[in-house]
Amino acid sequence: MNQISEKGVTFKDESEYRWLWDLLRDINQRGTFNCLLSDGRHLFCYHDHAGYNGLCQLHRRAPYDKVKLLDDDYEINLAHEKRPDQEGYIIASNPLTNEKWEEFQEGELRVYRDGKLVYISGE
pLDDT per residue rounded down to tens, the chain (123 residues): 677 777 778 888 899 999 999 999 999 999 999 999 998 999 999 999 999 999 999 999 888 788 888 888 888 888 878 888 888 999 999 999 999 999 999 999 999 999 899 999 975
Q: Give the number of other CB atoms < 10 A from CB of residue 100.
A: 8
Note the pLDDT of residue 43.
96
Rounded Cα–Cα distance for residues 122 and 17 (Å):
11
Instruction: Write the CA distances from 57 to 3, 5, 40, 61, integer angstroms.
Output: 27, 28, 19, 13
Q: What is the 8-class DSSP label of residue 114?
A: T
pTM over 0.75: yes
Q: What are phi and psi of 122, to 5 degrees?
A: 85, 0
